[in-house]
Amino acid sequence: MTTYDCDVLVVGGGIVGLSTAYALTQASPGTRVLVLEKENGPARHQTGRNSGVIHSGIYYKPGSLKARFAVRGAEEMVEFCARHGIAHEVTGKLIVATERAELPRLHALVQRGRENGIPVRELGPAQIAAYEPEVRGLAAIHVSTTGVCDYGAVAARLAELSGADVRYGAEVVRIDRRPELGVAVRTADGTVLRARALVNCAGLHCDRVARLAGDDPGVRIVPFRGEYYELARPGLVKGLVYPVPDPAFPFLGVHLTRGVDGSVHVGPNAVPAAAREGYDWRTVRPAELAGTLGWPGTWRIARRHWRYGAGELHRSWSKRAFTEAVRRLLPAVTEADLRPAPAGVRAQAVLRDGTLVDDFLIRESARTIHVLNAPSPAATASLPIGREVASRVLQTLPRS
C-alpha cells in the first residue's frame, strides 16, 4: 500500500499556487496540501515584481477566463485585503487617448467594459484634467473599480490561512507520475515526496514542470522583462494613468501607477529576457536562452512584430526614448524625474505558430493540473483561479 505525504502537492509558491492551496483546504477541510517553492519565501517573482494593480477586467474578451476571473477577483481582492488588514486602495484609473488614431480603440474599450459589467465613464480633455491636472489627452475613460494592493502580503497571508505545509528552498527536479498510484516528486536536496495529485503553478517554469511530469504543454514560456522607473516627483500623478493598448499584444504599454506606499511607478516596457528570471540585461542563462530560441514560435513572433519589438528595445536602451513615451501622457515629466526601479518578468505562453496565448490556460492530465498561462491579471484573479484549479483537482482526486 502506497504511503502518501499529502493529498495534493502544489509546485510554486506565488499567489496562484498559494491561492490554490487556500481554496483546497477551504473547499475540502482535511485535505493535506503541500506547497513546494524553490525560493526562500513566497511571491519572489511575478507576484512580487509588478505594480500592484487590482485590474478591473476591462481589457479582456467577454466570456474569457481573464474577463470573468478579473472582474470577480477585483471585488474579492479588495474584500480580502480589507478583512485581513492588507494595504490597498480603490483608486480608479484613466485610460487616455493622446492621438486621434487611438479614439476608435478607446471607444471599443468602453463597449468591452460594459459587456464585462464594469462601470466606465467617458471623459473629454477638461474632465481628464479634473482627475489628473498634469495629464493631457484628447479623450479618456475612467474605470472606477481599479485599485492597488500589496500582493506579496496577500500571498503570505494565503499561505498562513491555507494551513498547508509550505516548504521554501525546495526546487522540484524530477517527477514520476503513475496514474494508478499517484505522483512522486524529488527536490534538489534529494527529498522524495508522494502525493495523490499534483498541481503545477510554477509560473516562469510551468512548461518545464509539465515536461518533468511527462506531459507536452503545447506551449513554451517566453520571458518578457518589464522595466520600471520610479517618479521622483510623485505629486505629478494622483492615481493610475494608462495609454490605450494595442489589441494585438497582451502588454498594456508604459503607464503610471501610484502604489499603496505613495510612490509612482512608470512602466513597464516589454523586452525579451535572456533567462526565465532575467531581471536585467546582464542575466543570461544559456540553456534557458537556447530553449527560447529553439521554440519556433519565438521566431514567428519576431518576424510578425519586429517593429513593435524594436520600439520596446529602443526604450529599454534609451532613457530619453522612454521619457518621450511617458511624456505623451504626462508632458511635465523629464529624464531627471525617472529613477530606475526593480524590473519584473512576464511568463508569457507562446504557441508553436507564434501566437501569444491571450487567456489563462489550465490543462489537465492524469492526476495533474497544469496552470500554463497566468501572467497579469493573474494576481487580481488569483482567488477565482485558485477555486477553479481546486475544483478540478478535487473532482479527480482519488479517495482510496
Domain residue spans of the chain: 6-46+153-218+358-396, 92-147+223-351
Question: What is the architecture of the domain spanning 92-147+223-351?
Answer: 2-Layer Sandwich (3.30)
What tens digit of pLDDT does each residue of 164-212 get?
999 999 999 999 999 888 999 999 999 999 999 999 999 999 999 999 9
pLDDT: is 83 or 305 the higher one? 83
What tens digit of pLDDT does each residue of 110-142 get?
999 999 999 999 999 999 999 999 999 999 999
Class for domain 6-46+153-218+358-396, per CATH?
Answer: alpha beta
Rounded to two decimals, what is the model's pTM? 0.95
CA distance 181 to 194: 9
Q: What is the pLDDT of residue 349?
A: 97
What tens digit of pLDDT does each residue of 329-356 get?
999 999 999 999 999 999 999 999 999 9
Q: What is the pLDDT of residue 306?
A: 85
Residues of the chain above pLDDT 70, percent: 98
pLDDT category of residue 1 using cuts at 50, 70 and 90? low
